[in-house]
Amino acid sequence: MLVFTGWVLSSCNKQLNLYPQDALSEPTFFKNANDLALYCNQFYHDLPQQNSFWSDRYSDNEISLDHGDGLLDGTYVVPVTGGGWDWGAIRNVNYFLQRYQKTVADQATLNKYAAEARFFRAYYYWQKVIRFGDVPWLDRDLSDTSTALLYGPKMPHKQVMDSVLADLNFAVNNLPGPDVADPGRLHKYAAYALMSRVCLWEGTYRKYHAMGYEAVYLNATVTASEAIINSGNYDIWSTGNPKTDYYNLFIQDDLTSNKEAILPMVYIRNVLTQNLTRELGESSTGFTKDFARSFLCEDGLPTALSPLYKGDDSLDAEAASRDPRFSQLIATRGFVLTNNADGTKNIFSLPQIGTATAPTGYMIIKCLSPDPAQWNAAQSTLDLFIFRYAEVLLNEAEAKAELGQCTQAVLDNTINKLRDRVAMPHMVIASLVKDPNSTFPGLPVLLDEIRRERRIELAADGFRFNDLLRWNAGSLVNNPATILGMKLIPAIRAEYPPNQVSGVVVDANSYIRIYTNVNARTWNDKMYLYPIPTQELTLNPNLKPQNPGW
Amino acid sequence: MIRHVPGRGGTKTLLMMNLTAILMLTACLEVSAMGRAQQITLSEKNIPLKKVFSEVHKQTGYLFFYDLKELKDSKPVTIAVSNAGLEAVLDLCFEGQPLTYTIVNKTVVVKKKIEVDRVAPEITLPPINVEGVVTNQKGEPLAGVTIYIKGTKKGATTDDHGNFRITIASTGSPTLEFSFVGYESQSVKPGGQTFLRIVLKDAAADLNSIVVVGYGTQRKENLTGAVATVGSKDLDSRPLVNLAEGLQGLVPNLNIGLVNGRPGAAATFNIRGVTSVNSGNSNSGAPLVMVDGVQMDPNLINPGDVESVTVLKDAASAAIYGSRGAYGVILITTRNGKKNAATRLNYSGAYTITRPTRLPEHLNSVDYINMHREADRNGQLSGGSTASFPFTEDDSVMAARYFADPKNNPSGYPDPGNPSKYRYVGNTDWVKVLYPGWAPQQQHNVSVAGGSDKTSFIGSLGYFDQKGMLKLGHEDYQRINPSVKVTTEATSWLSLNLKAALNHIRTERSNAPTNSNANSYIQGDGRPNMPVYNPGGTDYSGQGNWTNPVAVLAQNGRDIITANDLWFTGGAVLTPVKHVRVNADYTFNNYSGFEQQVQKQFPEYGVNHVLLDYYPWTYPDATTEVGTNNNYTALNLYANYENTFNGLHYFKATVGYNQEYRHYKTVNTTAINLIDPGTPFIALNSDPKPSIKGNDNEWALNGLLYRLNYIFDNKYLLEVDGRYDGTSAFPNGRRFVWSPSASAGWRISEEKFFLSAKDIVNDLKLRVSYGRLPNQQFDPLDPTKQSDPYIYPYVGLLPTSQSGYVFGSQQSTAVGAPGLVSPEFTWESVTTKDAGIDFSLLNQHLSGSFDWYTRETSNMLVAGQPLPGVLGTSAPNKNSASLRTNGWELSLTYNDKIGNDLSYSLRFGLSDYKAKITKYDLNPTRSLGSYYVGQKFNEIWGYVTDGYFKTDAEAAGYDQSQLTGVAELAGDIKYADLDKDGKITRGDNTVPRPGDQKVIGNSTPRYQYGFNLTVQYKNFDLALFVQGVGKRDYMPTDNAFWGFQSEWSVPFIYMKDHWTSDHPNAYFPRLRFGGGGNFQNQTKYLQSAAYARLKNLSIGYSLPQEVLGRIKLKSLRFYATGQNLFEVTKMFKAYDPETIGFQTYPLSRSVSFGLQLGL
């Protein structure tokens, strides 16, 4: 009996040794270079592609009928969990960095994928710093759940960003050039582009929040930007049509050969598609009065100074003689909304206020194509920018200006290239005049105008709110014009069917009020950082104190 | 005087007696134990007998067993002895007493005297001595058979040779009753005979008293565990969609959840409530379900084939199933043919029409638009959520016009924002459009059964077809169940059996457009202002965010699932020597499933039939095919040894080996670019890169099992069983586990001293049991768990997915990091203690049982405990939580007749349980977001509602800012400041500091009951079945209750009763999108989910024999049945109290007409 039992048990145990046949498990992975690539593939969809539908919705540039998370309304409540405190992606990077070296591959290949991983870690950590300021820094994945690291304190903002910069330096030094990189994969200049973006943000954040040591980052911005500029690989895209080139840049089916694209997000029918055109057609969001005001006139002068400015009693008047990007960002009379399949066109006349299409009257048309195929839900094949050369030029100009090194030559190499595309007069340092209505009245005129150029060129691309944060300029959302739309004088109102606009509320100056309960938003400095979820503070008291003001 | 009970003695008896002594203590008997000499000196006058006993005990050390009640009738004793022997003293004391005694070893057992040889004084004729011998069918003498003279308390027992002798009266033709464990009782009128040869029939044929238990059967009266049974009689009288529906309410604490009413929807099973925190809050730690000894999905089998269902509730009865029996076992046995029976053909069929039990009532378009605008205004006023797609004044005006005069006004007009699109202003009640009326259902069963003296067979064919209530979905569920069972005696020592069965399923429905709507089309966003068709045309409405469910149902492709679940079992029963039976059976099962999901693109048209775009969620034309090929094998080898020694010691041993293996394999392919979308066969595609996915995994289980039964004298029952189990779900070194259990019973009613009460209490048994079972916490039949993380929980897996990013011209595979896996985890342990009582009273008219149990689930594998978020992944599972479930269950049955024509049966079951977390290491702060020690399971935390704010000023002065950032107004809900800190907060959201929260209710269903009445009057029969829950709280959180959870939600009609300044006493607060702070869990809106539902009402008529004879039928019965006809509940009207939640397919009320026919 005992023998029988023993025999049964030993044979049982053999039968019970079963392993998954259909999945990769830890001991068998990271064997070869292909495994490294497959692993790093998981991070790519986190690349920050432009999204003109939602990425600027909650800033002074745009206003949305919904209120997002309520941060700008002052209604954001400290969450118990969630609230952006998600560390999965950072763990995934660290998991890789702890193990990739066991792969059999040459050092350059190992370094290449480590560089990809560190590129993403830099990006993820930068996002954490933007949202929370000081955050714990982890450079490994944790498997022991009792470790002191798991319950460790926050690392100061500056120290975290120094680690971010180290990751970025590793990335630019170890990623291949775009000519030899595998299609779609990160390359050296994509890393420089991120470095340019991150370092400008950090450098100016340190400067305007009086944290010190900003020069390192401003210089790194310049280094990174110039590496891209001097590579000769990139240029501002133009066909010589200043009235349409800017608009057309963002409705292209293929950006991979577009010289302005340092890294595009590629969409291909039946492979991967997007939904921007359709969403913009019913965005419930629009540019604000404040943003519309910031366009220069076509003589290069602000509206307050230019004789060309015709006032804003109608959108037609407002758009006339303005920076041509005005009517390439905002739908104005004559804009073709759709080329219908039957050959007819839906052509824009009056701004479609009182609807979800254009509540402010300033309908966003960046990345909105009139091609009916692109209107099909989630079937649009238009490529989008991840890193665009124009941004690098703006970063370069701003960093140089912050460093006091912005010469006319710098402007000609940067800002004025952008202006050439839209046939705007060059920015000339010697003749710059301070705009009496400037949003930054205390700022030197050069920086002021560089910021304006950035606001226009990168409108709806998701930079604006982070720019306000780094410039310590959150209080700009207090400006009443940031929650107003276009002017709706009675004469214009009379042109609409009465019931369409009967619900549209205007202020004393006939500007459309989107938020009728308040005349202006109230910025509170606590909004520079989001609060840490309360459960996290309970679980790890070392994370205390809560971010200021929350 | 009888000094010795015949045939008794020996050490074993005494062991048994000593054990019984322990039991007797609990039954108010006195015992003490000391050893002394045997010489007695005693001199007393008129002292109670009890005192004599205690004196004798003092002097001799002999124990006395007696029942205080019986001693009441004893006479006082006068005695004077010196150094007398024990028996001499006792004889003196018992002289003239209605009592007698027996000395067994050092114990004096005092019993009521059985007046064996006393003649009743009124009988004048001399009594007759009757002698005889009792044997079994094989002619073997039976020792210990009890013989009673009916209507008296006189009796006798057979000796070792089966002989008996009894004296009966010579008049009144007395009846002798012979009874013995394991045999059918028999009544005999001796007439003038003086010698009787009695052959007792093996009781195996007596199905009602034989219960299928794991790896064998047991007589009901000998059960020591908590076991309940349901016979086919309880299931037969009405048409059942599936077995689960038939079992609902029949067995107390067998909790059956009807998930939804979709055709073919599976039910969930649970035994005795909360099992493990791992089963979430659904209480559904599933029991093991075995059909004819193999694990099978009870939702697939034909309810018409079921002979009996046994529910093993406690660990002692389930231990033989080891690691899968931790939460109970359901054993389903299918019908068998009978030997020596004429071939009979039976047919039963029913036609049923069904409609939803409860459907919510929708708002009309005018009210909806008005309320939407009101909520939007409230958001504007207070900084709360506002509509991103608000309704305009135009919409209100146009909708009102259409509502007033639909013939002459359009149901939509061109959108000024995009003139190709409509703004809809129609008025559609989507609930009525989608669920317009009755849906049919039919079922047919044919069976042929019979047998010769060696061979028996049964063949059956079941057919079931159910149409869905979602009419436009053209849903259909078909089940075809052919099966054959043959048993033959090949030789005198070998019997062979074969079973083959096929469960064929075919489900067809419209391909659900998105996963969230898979069970329902009562969408949360069925906006009433959207018409079914665009104005003035035949184009379906729907555009952009507006989804028209009718358009989707009508134009999208179909989802067709077919499955063949094929079972073969071959077995042999060997009886190599007397008393030994060896069973061997091997089962092979192949489940091959095939699913074709066709997605059809369809356009959405706008104003003037302009093509807007394609409906996004069914684009492009595509076919997905999923092939499943699962194999399962099971080997059972077990042997029984069964024997009775000396007519007193019944002994049965079972040992066995069980081995199971499952292999899951699925291939899942999707292709677009179909060559002809009208012929959606997947191979007809020109897709350059079709998607191919699949699963392949295996699972195995081995176990050695045993059970030992010992019964002494038909009274004292002892059972020990257990299993040694190994599973592939745990790592080597931690995969084997032991499941011990023991149980004992005492049939008090078989005691001699009980005889006087036997007329009233026919049977009485006490039971106790204890068992500790491991749980591998994974149900191999649950399709949602047939994936690697469940099957190989200890292996860290790297998930793969599509990159979501184009590399060159294609997406690539992306491999992720594995979650954390603790290498240390192992089995959960489930310990159950059970105490029960079984009884039958009043000539067995009333029978019942009561069980009390406590189930301790310890070392639960706990996942998802809060660890700091920087970990970046879920915490690994650890064996670090425990919970305790306490409960009880009562079942009562009463059968009787009134006159000769009316018989009836009443059955009542009631059960209850509560569960509590007893250990939870992972939440030391006792945060409310997680389990914590001391938590009562399913408790609901919330705030105490303190009415509405009367004025805006009152709201402004009251701090609820931690709940909502918006400025609150009159008509918003005010919560009570329980902690008196001047503001409403959630504190730390922990038990010690909950702020103003407290426990406001508990969603555990308490006091679940079922009540059955069956009545037979002449040829008519009636059955009525009420089932319900006595107490349950429910806190609604969905938009069926709260209305505008967002601007996209559509409230139901109940939301009209909301606060406005003109209607300040409304049920619901001020309208808001998202509710601001109003949608908190709170006392005012806590619902009572208690209900009583008339599950079934059947009336039948069977043709009388004389008519049947003429038309040459054996039997014919017609019946009509109503199911779920009505319910009594205070539940919010949008919910069915059983399924709760409106985004699920509704349960049905149904009416059936059927017939049952026998040839």
The reply to whether A69 touches chain B by the CB within 8 Å rule is no
The reply to whether B964 touches chain A by the CB within 8 Å rule is yes
CA distance A435 to chain B (A): 34
Helix (H) or strand (E) holding B708: strand B691-712
Q: Can you give the pLDDT at residue B6? A: 38
**Tokens representing residue B42 in the block:** 């005693």
CA distance B247 to chain A (A): 35
Cβ contacts of B791 on chain A, cutoff 8 Å: 18, 20
Question: How many Cα neighbours within 13 Å face the side chain of B345?
Answer: 5
Return d(Cα A135, Cα B870) in angstroms, integer: 9
**Tokens representing residue A321 in the block:** 């003689």
Q: Is the pLDDT of residue B1105 over 90?
A: no
Average pLDDT of the residues of chain B: 83
Helices (H) and strands (E) in chain A, counts: 21, 10
CB atoms within 10 A of CB B1105: 12
Spatial CA neighbour of B816 closest among A24, A172, A251, A70: A24
Q: A538: helix, coil or strand? A: helix
The reply to whether B953 touches chain A by the CB within 8 Å rule is no
Q: B1060: helix, coil or strand? A: strand
- Best residue of B613, B638, B874 to probe chain A, by most A CBs closer than 10 Å: B613
Return d(Cα B448, Cα A478) in angstroms, integer: 85
Strands B128-135 and B195-199: parallel
Return d(Cα B299, Cα B354) in angstroms, integer: 19
The pLDDT-based confidence of B863 (bands split at 50, 70, 90) is: low
CB contact under 8 A, A41 and B813: yes
Q: A530, A547 in Cβ contact below 8 A?
A: yes
Residue of A nearest to B807 (CA): A184
Question: How many Cα neighbours within 13 Å face the side chain of A210?
Answer: 0
Whole-number Cα distances in Å, B952 to A517, B382, B971, B976, B1059? 14, 10, 8, 17, 13
CB contact under 8 A, A151 and B868: yes
Cβ contacts of B804 on chain A, cutoff 8 Å: 44-45, 272
Q: Can you give the pLDDT at residue B206? A: 44
The reply to whether A143 touches chain B by the CB within 8 Å rule is yes
Q: B889, B930 in Cβ contact below 8 A?
A: no
The residues near A377 (Cβ < 8 Å, ≥ 6 apart) are A275, A278, B544, B613, B614, B615, B616, B619
CB contact under 8 A, A42 and B815: yes
Q: Which of A47, A77, A183 sits opposite B965 (nearest CB)?
A: A77
Q: Can you give the pLDDT at residue B923? A: 81
CB atoms within 10 A of CB B1151: 16
Burial class (CB in 10 A: 0-12, 13-18, 19+), A465: buried
**Tokens representing residue B557 in the block:** 């492709």
- As a three-state string, the secondary structure of B92-121 is HHHCCCCEEEEEECCEEEEEECCCCCCCCC
Tens digits of per-residue pLDDT, B942-966?
A: 999 999 999 999 999 999 988 887 8
Q: Can you give the pLDDT at residue A276? A: 92
CB atoms within 10 A of CB B768: 19
CB contact under 8 A, B735 and A13: yes
Return d(Cα A390, Cα A393) in angstroms, integer: 5
CB contact under 8 A, B807 and A185: yes
Return d(Cα B774, Cα B828) in angstroms, integer: 5
Q: Is the pLDDT of residue B1012 over 80?
A: yes
Return d(Cα B606, Cα B537) in angstroms, integer: 11
Cβ contacts of A536 on chain B, cutoff 8 Å: 868-869
Q: Is the pLDDT of residue B521 over 60?
A: no
Tens digits of per-residue pLDDT, B583-636?
A: 999 999 999 999 999 988 888 898 888 888 888 778 888 999 999 999 999 999
Q: Is the pLDDT of residue B850 over 80?
A: yes
Whole-number Cα distances in Å, A374 to A370, A371, A384, B612? 8, 5, 13, 11
Question: Which amino acid would we find at residue A278?
Answer: R
Strands B1115-1129 and B1091-1102: antiparallel
The pLDDT-based confidence of B437 (bands split at 50, 70, 90) is: confident
DSSP string of B929-959? TS--TTPBTTEEEEBPEEEE-SSHHHHHTSB
Helices A389-403 and A445-457 cross at an angle (nearest 10°) of 170
Check residues B120 and B1052 and name the one with the higher pLDDT.
B1052
Check residues B41 and B936 and name the one with the higher pLDDT.
B936
Q: Is the pLDDT of residue B229 over 90?
A: no
CB contact under 8 A, B871 and A92: no
Whole-number Cα distances in Å, A346 to A277, A330, A339, A371, B612? 15, 16, 7, 11, 12
CA distance A183 to chain B (A): 5
Return d(Cα B389, Cα B546) in angstroms, integer: 12
DSSP code for B976: P
CA distance B1084 to chain A (A): 24
Strand partners for B563? B505, B593
Cβ contacts of B416 on chain A, cutoff 8 Å: 352, 354-355, 496-497, 500
Upstream peptide bond of A545 is cis (omega within 30 degrees of 0): yes
Q: B445: helix, coil or strand? A: strand
Handedness of CA A323, A324, A327, A332 (dihedral sign): positive
Q: Can you give the pLDDT at residue B382? A: 81
Cβ contacts of B812 on chain A, cutoff 8 Å: 37-38, 41
Whole-number Cα distances in Å, B509 to A202, A427, B514, B614, B843? 56, 65, 14, 22, 54
The pLDDT-based confidence of B171 (bands split at 50, 70, 90) is: confident
Report how many Cβ contacts below 8 Å link chain A to chain B: 316
The pLDDT-based confidence of B485 (bands split at 50, 70, 90) is: very high
The reply to whether A374 touches chain B by the CB within 8 Å rule is no
Tens digits of pLDDT across chain A (550 residues)? 556 556 666 666 677 888 787 778 877 789 999 999 999 999 999 999 999 888 898 999 999 888 788 888 888 889 988 999 999 999 999 999 999 999 999 999 999 999 999 999 999 999 999 999 999 999 999 887 778 889 999 999 999 999 999 999 999 999 999 999 999 999 999 999 999 999 999 999 999 999 999 999 999 999 999 999 999 999 999 999 999 999 999 999 999 999 999 999 999 988 899 999 988 988 889 999 999 999 999 999 999 999 999 999 999 999 999 999 999 999 999 999 888 877 888 888 888 887 778 889 999 999 999 998 898 878 899 999 999 999 999 999 999 999 999 999 999 999 999 999 999 999 999 999 999 999 999 999 999 999 999 999 999 999 999 999 999 999 999 999 999 999 999 999 999 887 778 888 899 999 999 988 888 999 999 999 999 998 899 889 999 999 999 9
Q: Which of A8, A19, A42 sits opposite B792 (nearest CB)?
A: A19
Whole-number Cα distances in Å, B189 to A294, B117, B148? 115, 19, 12
Q: Is the pLDDT of residue B119 over 80?
A: no
Q: What share of chain A is helix, strand, coil (3-state, %, to 5)?
A: 45, 10, 50
Q: Can you give the pLDDT at residue B777? A: 62
Which has the minimum average pLDDT: A159-163, B58-62, B378-382, B847-851?
Answer: B58-62
CB contact under 8 A, A65 and B415: no
- Which residue in this structure is represented by tokens 């226009």? A456
Spatial CA neighbour of A236 closest among A210, A205, A261: A261
Q: Can you give the pLDDT at residue B1129? A: 93
Residue of A nearest to B734 (CA): A13
Tens digits of per-residue pLDDT, B877-917?
A: 778 888 899 999 999 999 888 888 888 989 899 999 998 99
Spatial CA neighbour of A72 closest among A60, A80, A83: A60
Helices (H) and strands (E) in chain B, counts: 15, 56
DSSP code for A154: P
Q: Write down the H helix ranges in B868-1002.
A: 952-956
Residue of A nearest to B731 (CA): A17
Q: Can you give the pLDDT at residue B123? A: 47
Residue of A nearest to B820 (CA): A143
Return d(Cα B918, Cα A447) in angstroms, integer: 65
Q: Which of B727, B795, B962 sits opposite A77 (nearest CB)?
A: B962
DSSP code for B659: E
The reply to whether A178 touches chain B by the CB within 8 Å rule is no
Helix (H) or strand (E) holding A319: helix A315-319
Q: Can you give the pLDDT at residue A449? A: 97
Return d(Cα B115, Cα B154) in angstroms, integer: 5
Q: B563, B592 in Cβ contact below 8 A?
A: yes
CA gyration radius for chain A?
Answer: 26
The pLDDT-based confidence of B1018 (bands split at 50, 70, 90) is: confident
Upstream peptide bond of B190 is cis (omega within 30 degrees of 0): no
Return d(Cα B441, Cα B443) in angstroms, integer: 7
Spatial CA neighbour of A39 closest among A98, A83, A87: A98
Tens digits of per-residue pLDDT, B799-818?
A: 888 999 999 999 999 999 99
**Largest pairwise CA distance in chain A:** 108
Cβ contacts of A89 on chain B, cutoff 8 Å: 872
